[in-house]
Structure formats: C-alpha cells, structure tokens
Structure 1
C-alpha cells in the first residue's frame, strides 16, 4: 500500500506541469524548500525518483510520467465527485471542459454561449486544439466532452453524430473556374491545392476522395490552421477544401466563393465524443443533452 497524500500529488503535479520548482512554488504559494520536501517525501514513498535533472533543466522520469497520469485521473475523479455531490444536494453548477477541433470552434463557441444562457452557474472551459491533440486529451481524460469529425476506431470512445459537416472547395472570386457548373474532379486535381496537416479530418477526407479517383493528393502547401488556408485562397495561392461552417462570413462578404466540383460537397458529420465508460457530470450530461437536442431540432444540418 502506497502511503502518499493528495497534497503531495498536488505539489508534484504543479512541478510536473511547469518542470520548475520555483514556478510551482509561486503557483501554490509555498516556499521552494517546502515544494522540494513534498516531492522528496513522495519519492521516498514510491521508492523511485519522479524527476531527473540534466544541466539546469528537470525532466520527468518514467515513474514520474506514470504518477502524472494517475494524478490527473485522481483530479478528474475528485471533480466528478464534486459535481455529483452538488447534484445530490440539489445545487446547480459544476464545471465542464469541452475540447473542440479548430475547424469546429466557429459554431462550438455559439453552442456554449447558448448553453451558458440556460446554465449560467456552470464553469465552462473551451479548449481549441488539433485533432491529434484532442484525441490525446480524451485518452488522458483531460476533457469531459469533445466535438470533432468521425473519431478513429480502437480508441475506446463513444461518439454520436449531431450535425452535418459539409466540406466544400473554396476559391478566390476571380478564379478561372468561378461560375462553372459540374467541374470534373480531374480538372480540380490540376489546380494547386492547399491542405491541412497530415492526420486532420479534412486532410483525410481529401486524400480519400483523391484515392477514389485513382489520384494522389500532392498539396502545393500544407497549413495547420483553417484561417491560414482561407487567407491563402483569398490571395490566390491555390484552392482549399474546408468545412462550410468555417467560411460563412467570407462567403457572405464575397471574399471567397465555392466551386461546383464533382464529388462535392463531401457530406460528413460532427460528432459529440467522450471516453467509453466515462461517468458524465451533471453539467456535462446537460451540455450533451443540449447539443443533441439542438442538432435534432435543426434537422442535424445547421445551428
């Protein structure tokens, strides 16, 4: 039986996040010797070092990384307990962390704003990250719910589609293909294409469609942000494939247009995702119900 305390784990977690004893002491309002003593007592209880120093920097050991994983899980369980007890006491509120892929933040922020009007007592946190980071956060139980495209198999995730996510081809208004109808896909493949980074949902969809036509996607440029792709398209660096939800303002302003290309729009879905077997807090359950109800009310097409 390990004889360690929550305080030791709290201090360890602060040092592990900052990889600095001095920064951890500032966050915890403790002296640096007090922080060092808590970590030393933790290491004595574990029988293994949790940090190693190389030069002037400290790093987590293998044991330290394992302790960090468990520490984060314990912190999440305590938050779940807090929310559950508050619900049992009939107290509204609680906390909710929602992670979204960058493509989805255009409407996810609106969803959260609408939800907050109904539940102003809930403490909301929105993390906008790329797809792989969001999958890692789900695996580490660092987010309650996630909004993303089709999640991969084999990740122990529960996912429910709630809204269509049409992918469209965008171009500058002066492009030679502007106004043409039924543009053959091979004609599109002759144009310089701007693509998201490997592993993103949009990139996967593009590569899949190229493969269906016996072609290989060879992007003229790769970018890790939709904003960068939109701006590059506007100035004529190439064509892009993006979610229609990300370009509503630009289309309305006439800064870009969509092209009528064979195979487009690619109709995909947005999914609400959480870890398999995760016990959702009352706040998380309320948000999940709200999102699914909104998707059903809007016909799962738009919000």
Structure 2
C-alpha cells in the first residue's frame, strides 16, 4: 500500500465533518469556507485512495473506510491534546487555547471576566463561541469545547456543573409604564400585561415559566422574540413588559431607558454554571479559568446585585 501523506489540518477537517455530518457546521467551527473544506477532503480521499463519504439523497454518511479514518482521527487528535497538556504542565507560564461556548445572555459579562483573566495570562488564546442554549448543549454533548457556560445544566447529560455567578432576572418595562412606581405588584396583576417573551427552551423563558406555575397564573404572550437585545428594544419602544437578566440592562437603566418593576417574587435568582461532561479532565488552562470564575470573577464583571428602586 502506498504511503499516505496526511496533514493535521486534513485530519481536523475530517473529524469535524464526520462529527457534525454537515460541511457548513464544520467550516464554521474551524473558521473556514465550505469550498475550502470540500477541497481539503477531496485531497484527503486522494491521499488515502478510498472514498470516505457517500451521498444518499441530500444526506451523506461515512463509508467503512470513513469510519476507520474517523476512529484514527480521534485517536491521533486526542493524543495530541494529551501531549499539549503534558508539555504545558512542564512550563510555569499558563499558555495555550481556551475553548469556550457560552449562551447569548452571558455576552454582557463574560467578556469582562475573560478580559481580566487574559490580562493576567497573556499567553492564553481564547476561542469563544456565543450561541443559543440548544447549540451550546449540542457542543457540550459532542465535547467540542473545554467547557461551556450556561444557566441550568441539561438534565439528560452526565455533567459536572460549577455555579460561579449570580444571575438575577427582573421584570423590565418602559420608564413611563403605569406600574413603574407601584410597590409590591401581585403576580395576578402583572399577568394581564402585554408580555414579550423569549423563545421556548431559552433559560430565561424556562425560569419565567416555572415562576408562573408556582404562582398559579397564566399569560398570553404578545410577542415571542429570539434574543435579549430584541426584547430590550421592544420594551423600550413601549410594546410590553418582559423578564430580562439584570446584567443585560445596566446601560439602559443608567440612561433611564428601562425600569425594573417591583413584582412579588422577583428577582428570580439563578446561577451561571461552568459545565463539562462528567469524567472529563479539563486542560490546565481551562482548569485555571474555572478556578478564576469560582474565586473572583464576580469582582471583574459588571455589578449584578439587587435591582435598583423602581423608577418613577
């Protein structure tokens, strides 16, 4: 059999495509274009001398040779990761990649925490993906990152979860809303408002749904929006009220663009968690960042304490 001339880049590309079963997702993960991925994989098949994928309709699958290549890729890449960690442990300098996926709501404070960490460890190279909860769970299940940051950890995966930062959810409204100066608003009264809600499955929506069940009230959502930013803009436009993370509202509160309503049972207190698969050994850099989160990250992030008094 002729000697194969394979490159690490080809192995990484093949592993990503085989894992995702999707060229576009693999290209996005590796920051390449889809045509570039396709060209590299064709060259890999030429070097191997065998077809690695087969197309059936609009889907594609691994061939028997592809399955063998996938197993070999996993072995090689895992050995390289182990080598990288072993070499890093011999050096007092904390360095290397830090691979994180985080849910979108964390974008208001994670950059501040990460910036403080990098300021102390400038040889660390962060690779941060900000996406929705569903995608973060997919990446967690596929072990694509060192760890992920999210609210409630998934119930259907065996994971380790380390809570590190308080996440207060409050009821946000336009500053001139009739209830903005009303104290101790009962749940039944607020239920009749026009509610702007996140999509089903988001952490904020799930926490609010539990609140409604616990207080035996029901709402009829006026609008369902797919991001915190979209909801903030809608609330500021006077379209309704919503539940938002307090950490996402600091600028708007200081500028008088939003108000926090004094609703009974709020704020809802949740925790952000660093989450990884049970049994996984975190790389040295990731372990150091988890310790940073647990020990002092809250001091580097924007203040997320109790909400300010209701605005007039």
Give the TM interval when normalised to the shorter protein. 0.7 to 0.9
Aligned-residue RMSD, C-alpha: 3.1
- CA pair 297-250 structure 1, distance change in 2 beyond 3 A: closer
Q: Displacement of 1:89 after TM fit? A: 4.6
Asked if 1:243 corresponds to 2:252, the answer is no
CA distance in 2, matches of 1:67, 1:283: 29
The residue number in structure 2 matching 1:218 is 220
Choose which of 221, 224, 229 in structure 2 pairs with 1:227: 229
Question: 1:108-157 CA deviation, whole Å, 9 max, x = no partner?
Answer: 01010000001000111111111111111111111112221121223111
The number of aligned residues is 286
Task: Please state how far the C-alpha of 1:234 moved relative to its aligned partner.
Answer: 0.2
Give the structure 1 partner of residue 36 of structure 2.
Answer: 23
In structure 1, the partner of 2:308 is: none
Query: Any stretches of 5+ residues in structure 2 without a counterpart?
Result: 18-22, 306-312
Measured against aligned partners, the alpha-carbon deviations of 1:223-262 in whole angstroms (never above 9, x if no partner) come to: 1110000000000111010110110111011000000001
Mapping for residues 146-161 of structure 1, pairs under 5 Å: 146-161=148-163
Partner of residue 260, structure 1: 262
Distance 1:177 1:244, change over 3 A: same
Instruction: Please give the secondary structure, in 2, of the residue aligned with 1:220.
Output: strand
State the partner residue of 1:108: 110
1:6-47 CA-to-partner distances (Å, cap 9, x unmatched) read 646345347643599842266x5xxx8634414653x4xxxx
Task: Give unpaired runs (5+ residues) of structure 1.
Answer: 44-48
Aligned to 1:87: 89
Of 167, 173, 182 in structure 1, the residue corresponding to residue 175 of structure 2 is: 173
**Corresponding residue for 1:34?**
43
TM-score (norm 2): 0.81
Structure 2 CA distance, aligned partners of 1:273 and 1:105? Answer: 17
Q: How far, CA to CA, are the matches of 2:213 and 2:204 in structure 1?
A: 14
Residue pair 1:171, 1:240 contacting (<8 A) in 2 also: yes
Instruction: Please say if residues 113 and 297 of structure 2, whose CA atoms lie closer than 8 Å, have aligned partners that are also in contact.
Output: no
Counterpart of 2:53 in structure 1 is 50
SS at match of 2:166: strand
| Paired residues of 1:84 and 1:281 also in contact (CA < 8 A) | no
TM-score (structure 1 length as normaliser): 0.83
Q: Secondary structure at the match of 1:61?
A: strand
Shift of 1:50: 2.1
Q: Distance in 1 between matches of 2:16 and 2:152?
A: 34
Alpha-carbon spacing, 1:14–1:25, altered in 2? closer, same or farther (3 Å)? farther
Q: Distance in 2 between matches of 1:236 and 1:170?
A: 11
The CA distance in 2 between the partners of 1:283 and 1:175, in whole Å, is: 47
1:258 match: secondary structure: strand
Contact 1:11 1:38 in 2 (8 A): no
Task: Give, in whole Å, the separation in 1 of the partners of 2:246 and 2:273.
Answer: 16
d(CA) in 2 for partners of 1:176, 1:138:
43
Q: Which moved more, 1:230-239 or 1:12-21?
A: 12-21
